[in-house]
């Protein structure tokens, strides 16, 4: 093997390993995972520069194409909000700690399926189809979380599950990670996947579903249900006939294990105070908001009762921090993407990889629904980075027409 070939193998291995380790262990090890992602990104950058016909001008030009314009506009709106923030120092720190980091993770996910070097080295040098490989990674990640969650609930019997194999998931993000994995694994249960994939997916799905109940998180029950309906609609509408009996069965389990969560809604009265505070901040900063991260600084001045660092609603928090311009640009990213990609999804008809793509799309939809009840997507690191990694993968897969056992990629601009 030539020296350039060996270097490419090493770079692709490091890049792919970073993504795999983050998906499997991202919920459990905060500090180490940041290092892993950094290593993955450095490998990505070096790989990009080594690709033939690489041009920096073409790399930046892609962000001015119609597909990327909403992302560009959102980035500009965040910059403007940062510049005119009520506390520039704090907002600039938030800009690099959150928004810039999320963009890098998005690029890691996008390039995983778009990079010529990654696909060719994985297939030719290692004999690995990266699409099939990722299906097993998501199944294993969900299975590990599902078994660990059920074991902890049986062993510790907590009021609400928040740990996996005794490891407490910080900031109560276990339900968030289940929201990511549940619809992805669900899509691997259908005909078209291998027998091993279907059996392992069914077991994993059942375990994750039990963990969803044990967490007692009603917002995840709603978001998870919608994401599963969305996935069923895209895969085969006939599966929707099982929705009502399945949902009723789910409610029976909820009533048995978490009856209090069906009757006690006191927490929503507390959250109303912080949501109204976000609206109050927006009214005083209509166009570009108070600045990134400023909600946590101003909430005590606007809330009449309960005070929290976040608004328990991503969209209201964005409205308060980035104003109507920022929220509009943020929503445009997903509205334009999903309206465009759902029209192209027919290109995956008859392909086993349609299940992976549908699962990733449904995973992001579930999180976007959950964002009505939680401050996520633009807050935090571990749980939020998983969203942007998966969204980046969806973005990368948009350019691919994938057949069974083969890859044919159509790239608009591959920097």
pLDDT in tens, 211-254: 999 999 899 999 999 999 999 988 877 777 778 888 888 888 88
Q: Which residues pair with 401 in a beta bridge?
A: 408
- Mean local confidence (pLDDT), 49-72: 75
**Using CA atoms in the order 231, 237, 243, 246, what is the torsion angle rounded to 10 degrees?**
-80
* Cα→Cα distances 115→6, 50, 129, 403, Å: 17, 11, 14, 17
Six token digits for residue 189: 């249960």
Most confidently modeled range among 10-24, 174-188, 245-259: 174-188
Higher per-residue pLDDT: 175 or 44 = 175
Q: In the prediction, which pLDDT does 131 show?
A: 85
Cα distance between residue 356 and residue 399, in whole Å: 14
Length of the chain counted residue by residue: 415
- Mean local confidence (pLDDT), 61-81: 89
Residue 334, phi-psi category: left (phi > 0), alpha (psi -120 to 50), beta (remainder): alpha
Higher per-residue pLDDT: 236 or 151 = 151
Higher per-residue pLDDT: 351 or 118 = 118
Higher per-residue pLDDT: 152 or 54 = 152
What percentage of residues in the chain have a pLDDT greater than 70? 87
- Mean local confidence (pLDDT), 382-389: 92
Please give the angle made by the CA atoms of 79, 85 and 88, to the nearest 5 degrees. 90
Six token digits for residue 267: 């927490």
Cα distance between residue 96 and residue 91, in whole Å: 9
- Mean local confidence (pLDDT), 271-292: 93
Cα distance between residue 398 and residue 338, in whole Å: 10
Cα distance between residue 415 and residue 405, in whole Å: 25
The average confidence (pLDDT) of the chain is 85
Mean pLDDT lowest among 196-200, 299-303, 342-346: 342-346
Candidates 387, 373, 379; CA nearest to 223 is 373
Six token digits for residue 129: 């189809």
Mean pLDDT lowest among 143-157, 248-262, 296-310, 355-369: 248-262
**Using CA atoms in the order 331, 334, 335, 337, what is the torsion angle rounded to 10 degrees?**
150
**Dihedral pair phi/psi, residue 167, rounded to 5°:** -95, 115
* pLDDT band at 403; cut points 50, 70, 90: very low
| H, E, C per residue of the chain | CCHHHHHHHHHHHHHHHHHHHHHHHCCCCHHHHHHHHHHHHHHHHHHHHHCCCCCHHHHHHHHHCCCCHHHHHHHHHHHHHHHCCCCHHHHHHHHHHHHHHHHHHHHHHHHHHHCHHHHHHHHHHCCCCHHHHHHHHHHHHHHHHHHHHHHHHHHHCCCCCCEECCEECHHHCHHHHHHHHHHHHHHCCCECECHHHHHHHHHHHHHHHHHHHHHCCHHHHHHHHHHHHHHHHHHCHHHHHHHHHHHHHHHHHHHHHCHHHHCCCHHHHHHHHHHHHHHHHHHHCCCCCCCCCCHHHHHHHHCCCCCCCCCCCHHHHHHHHHHHHHHHHHHHHHHHHHHHHHHHHHHHCCCCHHHHHHHHHHHHHHHHHHCCCCCCCCCCCHHHHHHHHHHHHHHHHCCEEEECCEEEECCCCCC
Q: In the prediction, which pLDDT does 406 show?
A: 37
* pLDDT band at 51; cut points 50, 70, 90: low
Lookup result for tokens 């069974």? 404
Q: In the prediction, which pLDDT does 407 show?
A: 38
Cα distance between residue 206 and residue 182, in whole Å: 9
Cα distance between residue 185 and residue 203, in whole Å: 10
Mean pLDDT lowest among 143-157, 255-269, 283-297: 255-269
Q: In the prediction, which pLDDT does 191 show?
A: 82
C-alpha 46: how far from chain center: 25
């Amino acid at each position: 093997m030539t020296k350039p070939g060996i270097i490419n193998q090493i770079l692709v291995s490091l890049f792919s390993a970073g993504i795999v380790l983050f998906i499997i262990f991202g919920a459990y090890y905060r500090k180490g995972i940041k290092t892993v992602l950094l290593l993955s990104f450095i490998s990505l950058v070096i790989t990009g520069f080594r690709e033939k016909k690489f041009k920096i001008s073409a790399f930046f030009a892609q962000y001015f194409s119609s597909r990327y314009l909403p992302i560009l506009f959102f980035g500009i709106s965040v910059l403007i909000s940062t510049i005119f923030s009520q506390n520039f120092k704090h907002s600039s720190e938030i800009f690099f700690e959150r928004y810039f980091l999320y963009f890098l993770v998005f690029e890691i996910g996008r390039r995983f399926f778009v990079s010529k070097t990654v696909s060719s080295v994985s297939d030719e040098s290692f004999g690995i189809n990266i699409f099939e490989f990722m299906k097993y990674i998501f199944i294993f990640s969900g299975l590990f979380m599902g078994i660990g969650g059920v074991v902890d609930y049986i062993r510790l019997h907590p009021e609400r599950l928040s740990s996996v194999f005794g490891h407490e998931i910080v900031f109560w993000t276990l339900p968030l990670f289940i929201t990511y994995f549940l619809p992805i694994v669900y899509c691997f249960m259908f005909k078209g996947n291998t027998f091993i994939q279907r059996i392992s997916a069914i077991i994993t799905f059942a375990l994750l579903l039990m963990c969803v109940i044990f967490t007692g998180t009603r917002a995840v029950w709603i978001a998870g249900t919608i994401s599963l309906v969305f996935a069923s609609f895209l895969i085969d509408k006939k599966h929707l006939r099982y929705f009502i009996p399945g949902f009723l069965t789910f409610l029976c389990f909820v009533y048995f294990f978490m009856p209090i969560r069906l009757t006690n809604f006191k927490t929503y009265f507390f959250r109303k105070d912080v949501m109204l505070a976000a609206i109050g901040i927006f009214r005083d900063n209509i166009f570009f908001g108070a600045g990134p991260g400023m909600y946590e600084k101003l909430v005590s001045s606007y809330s009449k009762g309960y005070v929290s660092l976040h608004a328990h609603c991503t969209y209201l928090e964005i409205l308060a921090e980035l104003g109507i311009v920022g929220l509009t640009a943020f929503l445009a990213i997903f509205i334009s993407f999903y309206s465009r990609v759902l029209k192209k999804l027919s290109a995956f008809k008859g392909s086993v990889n349609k299940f992976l793509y549908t699962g990733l799309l449904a995973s992001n939809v579930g999180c976007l629904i959950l964002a009505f009840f939680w401050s996520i997507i633009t807050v935090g690191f571990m749980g939020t980075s998983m969203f942007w990694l998966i969204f980046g993968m969806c973005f990368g897969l948009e350019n691919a027409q994938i057949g069974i056992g083969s890859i044919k990629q159509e790239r608009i601009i591959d920097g």
